[in-house]
Amino acid sequence: GAGTPVAPPTRIGPAMLFENVKGYPDVRVLVGMLASRERTALLLGSTVEQLPFTLLRALDRRIAPMTVSFPEGAPCQEVVHRAPLDIRSLLPAPTNTLFDAGPYFNLGLLRAEDPETGEADVTIHRLCVQGSDRLTVYFVPGRHIDQFRIKAERQGKPLPVSISMGLDPAIYLAACFEPPTTPLGFDELTIAGGLRQRPVELVDCVSVPAKAIARAEIVIEGEILPGERMREDINTGTGFAMPEFPGYLGQAQSCPVIRVTAVTHRFNPILQTIVGPGEEHVNLAGIPTEASILRLVENSMPGRLLNVYAHSAGGGKYLAILQFKKGSIRDEGRQRQAALTAFAAFSELKHVILVDEDVDIFNSNDVLWAMTTRYQGDVSTVFIQGVRCHPLDPSQSPDFSPSILEDGISCKTIFDCTVPFALRERFRRAPFMEVDMDTES
């Protein structure tokens, strides 16, 4: 049930709980919980169309997390395994394809604190199991916890971390906000608090000076070792990491190393995971992206941008559809300004499709209809060359285009599928009458 960009045929399927995992009689595995936008809306008390606005309200009503002392022990620490340990025998980290570098934890919420300021950050990164007590962690350049790691490494010190799995969906979605909405030093758990209107509960780790999500199903404690690097595929030599959100296998990287110092969990815990390409990543990455774009555009031109959809084909990161309303001839051109603002709001965005208010942005047929009948390539396209984008897009290479100077640089593109305001009467849809099928004639 992964959906685009997994190879067809695809469909959005149910969440799946595996209750009989070979070799792990006491651990269950959950995948696909947020793979449906409808299910995600239900879990947040929202609707499909209102999801980004729900997150925006949470941004305005943030509540800071709080560290809690549990008299009978935190829920995530009902069972405690301290080093020396073998994480491979404790937790069933999934291997997704025959080409994977190894087993991965894909939905672990990494939490760390800035060694200089004490400010906290939470993010989700791919974590490859490399032995009994070692994980590699892949950071896209610029990630905040990687900045904390760099600071600690300069001091010659390890960076204490916690990895929490099996969480309230509000926490996972809040953690996927990115700059400029959440700059360095911004604790995304405050947004999760805003979504639930109560603080996220933290608990002190048992083996390192770090904090974990108190009501997580599973917590891995450890420290990122200074100066130590390891290739993700050191044990397999596949050259690949795992299937990533654009729909392709990611290349194995040389990554920082986490030394695991403890594993804690609930009785009969649920290990939550995610398949790289597909609707679950789209929702986790895309809905916060939509909220960020809405906020920045609304601040610069109130009332024009009606909604945003981070489309599945872009994995929630590369492609955004903006529904823009032109109220007068003076709004002509502002739709393209909104697209430029979207690129500023989310640096990893590659393509923006602009449509009018009568186009259903969640219906790809409707969007392509607008691109077919309200778009002329020579006058409706804006190219922005030589801009840094997300490194996992395989087309961002000098081999693909001579305009690209090095890997990771892209040509960002605006597809303006809006009707020129002066011609709007020519583009009115055929006016069919509404029919009530429940009424007897």
- Distance between CA atoms of 274 and 108, rounded to whole angstroms? 10
| Of 109, 149, 105, 107, residue with least CA distance to 128 | 105
Write down the catalytic residue from 153, 201, 232, 244: 244
- Distance between CA atoms of 416 and 217, rounded to whole angstroms? 46
Bridge partners (DSSP) of residue 229 are 256
Cβ neighbors of 65 (< 8 A, separation 6 or more) are: 187, 189, 190, 192, 193, 199, 200, 201, 202
- Distance between CA atoms of 124 and 113, rounded to whole angstroms? 15
Chain centroid to Cα 18, Å, comes to 24
Give Cα separations from 369 to 303, 309, 311 (angstroms): 25, 16, 16
Query: Strand 201-204 and strand 211-213: pairing?
Result: antiparallel
| Of 53, 55, 52, 287, residue with least CA distance to 194 | 55
* Known catalytic membership, residue 49: no
Residues 106, 242: contact at Cβ < 8 Å? yes
DSSP state of 419: P
Bridge partners (DSSP) of residue 256 are 229
Name the residues annotated as catalytic. Answer: 244
